Amino acid sequence: MASLTSFTDEARIALDTLSGRASGLFAPSLRVGVTGLSRAGKTVFISAFVHNLVHGGRLPLFEAQKSGRIARAFLEEQPDDAVPRFQYEDHIDALVKARGWPESTRAISELRLTIEYESASGWGRMFSRGRLSVDIVDYPGEWLLDLPLLGKSYAEFSREAFELTELPVRAELSDAWRRLSATVDPGADADEMLARGLAESFTAYLRTCKLDERALSTLPPGRFLMPGDLDGSPALTFAPLPGLGDKRARSGSLHAMMERRYEAYKTYVVKPFFREHIARLDRQIVLIDAMQALNAGPGAMADLERALTEILACFRPGRGSFLTDWFSRRIDRILVAATKADHLHHESHDRLQAIVRRLADRAVKRANFSGATVDVLAMAAIRATCEGSVKHGRDTLPVIIGTPLKGERIGDETFDGETETAIFPGDLPAKVDMVFEQSDGKTQEEALRIVRFRPPKLERTAEGVTLSLPHIRLDRALQFLIGDHLA
C-alpha cells in the first residue's frame, strides 16, 4: 500500500509526538483508539471500560485491579480542547436508568481517564509516580476505511468500486447506480446536477449495503454515510465513473470534476483525520459485529475480512527504538474483538473467537502487516443476558435469558421490550471454514437465533450502592490494552 503521508505530514507528526513525549515525562499518558464498524458497540465498550474502573468492577483478569494496586480511577479534562468530549455521563444514564443502548458514534470524541496505582515492583514504586492518564479516542470505523484512498488515484478508486459491484452479494444492491453510471460519458462537459445525481445514487447503494440484513463492511468513502457538517459540499459530491482506464481527464469534463473533488476529499477530510488522530495512537481495539455478518452469510463474512484487511493496513504498527519513539508514535498492540458474545451460550464462545482469529490472521497476512502484537477476543463489554437450561423432550438445551428489545422477533413471536425470555440461540459450527463457505443453499442464519436485548437491570447492595456493569472478558481486553503500563 502506498504511503499515507507526505514529508510535510511526517514532520508535523514528529513535532506533535515530540511535544507529547516531553510532557509525558512528567504526566505519563497512553492514547487508546477505539473503533469498529457501525453497531459494533464502540460507545458501549468505552462506557463499560470507564464505569468498571471508576466503580471498582469485577475484573479478575485485569492484574492491577485483581492485586489491589489501583488506588482510584477518575475522569479529568482531556488534552485536546478542539475534539468533542465523549459524553460518558449521558451514555451511562441511558444504560443504567433507561436500560437503553446509547446512540452510535457519529464523529470523533475523546475522554481522559486517569489511574492512580502502585507499581508491582519495589523498584517501580521508588521511581514511578504511579499515575497514568489513558486518553480514549473514539472514532467511526467507516472513516478509517477512507485511509487507503490516500494511496489510490481516482481511476483506481473507480475501478475497485465497480469491481466490488460484480460480487454476488452486491450485484442487486448496486443495480440502480450501475445503470445510471452506464448512461454517463466521463469525457462530456462537467454538469453539477449530473454529478449530484451520481453521488446520491452511489450513496444510496452504500446505505443499502450497510443495512442489518446485508451487514456489508467495505463501504468507502466513509463520510458519504456520516457526512456531518460536510453534507452537500463539493468534497462529498462525487462518485466513481466507469471505464476510465489510464485516460487523462480533459479539462472541464465530468471526469475532471469528479477527480478534483475526490482529491479534495483526500486533502481536506482524510489526511487531517490520519495526521491528527490515527498517527498519534499507542494502542488500538477494533470491534466487529461478527454475529451480524454470520447471520447475513458467507458474502458478508468475506466483506468483513476485506474491511479488516483495509483497517489493519491503515495503522502505523511496530516498535521503534528509544530515539525513534520520541519522534514517531507506533501502535504496538492491536486487539480485534468480536462483540455481543452474550448473544451466544458460553459453549459457543471459543468457536466465535476461532472465527475472529481466522478473520484476523488472514487480514494480517493480506495487509502485509507486521511489527505489532495482534490478539483476538470474543467479548461483551456489557452483558445483557445470563445463562440457563430448559428441557425440550428428552434433551436439555443451553439457553440465554434476557429482555429482548421491543419489536424484536423470532418466527411469529414479537417481543414487547419488558418480558424476560429464555432463548436457545443455536450453535456455531465446530469447523470455522463452514461460516465462510455457502453449501446446499443454506446460510448460517438457519443455525442462529439472534435478537437484540435491553441492557441488564443493575443490582444494588444493601447499602444502596449500584454494582458495576456486568461483562464478558472486558477485563482481558483491559489487561491487553493497558495492563503493562500499570505493572
Topology of domain 7-139+277-383+474-486 in CATH is Rossmann fold (3.40.50)
Q: At residue 294, does pLDDT exceed 50?
A: yes
With bands split at pLDDT 50, 70 and 90, how would you rate the model's confidence at 314?
confident
More confident residue, 84 or 230: 84
What value does the mean pLDDT take over residues 68-81?
94
Q: At residue 482, does pLDDT exceed 70?
A: yes
pLDDT at 73: 97
Specify the residue for cell string 475522569.
75
Q: At residue 17, does pLDDT exceed 60?
A: no
Alpha-carbon distance of 39 to 102, in angstroms, equals 11
pLDDT digits (tens, 9 = 90+) for 141-178: 888 889 889 989 999 999 999 999 999 999 999 999 99
pLDDT at 325: 44
Domain residue spans of the chain = 7-139+277-383+474-486, 153-269
With bands split at pLDDT 50, 70 and 90, how would you rate the model's confidence at 411?
confident
How far, in Å, are 237, 315, 329 from residue 272 at the CA level? Answer: 19, 15, 16
Q: At residue 43, does pLDDT exceed 80?
A: yes
With bands split at pLDDT 50, 70 and 90, how would you rate the model's confidence at 5?
low
With bands split at pLDDT 50, 70 and 90, how would you rate the model's confidence at 381?
very high
Alpha-carbon distance of 30 to 131, in angstroms, equals 11
What value does the mean pLDDT take over residues 332-338?
94
What value does the mean pLDDT take over residues 130-136?
96
What value does the mean pLDDT take over residues 283-297?
90
With bands split at pLDDT 50, 70 and 90, how would you rate the model's confidence at 320?
very low
Instruction: For 194-258, give the secondary structure using H, E and C.
Output: HHHHHHHHHHHHHHHHHCCCCCCCCCCCHHHCCCHHHCCCHHHCCCCCCCCCCCCCCCCEHHHHH
For the chain, the first-to-last Cα distance in angstroms comes to 36
What value does the mean pLDDT take over residues 109-121?
92
Residue 119 in grid coordinates: 507499581
pLDDT at 126: 59
Residue 102 in grid coordinates: 446509547
Alpha-carbon distance of 368 to 298, in angstroms, equals 24
Instruction: For 325-372, give the secondary structure using H, E and C.
Output: HHHCCCECEEEEEECCHHHCCHHHHHHHHHHHHHHHHHHHHHCCCCCC
Q: At residue 66, does pLDDT exceed 60?
A: yes
What value does the mean pLDDT take over residues 235-257?
94
Alpha-carbon distance of 59 to 187, in angstroms, equals 62
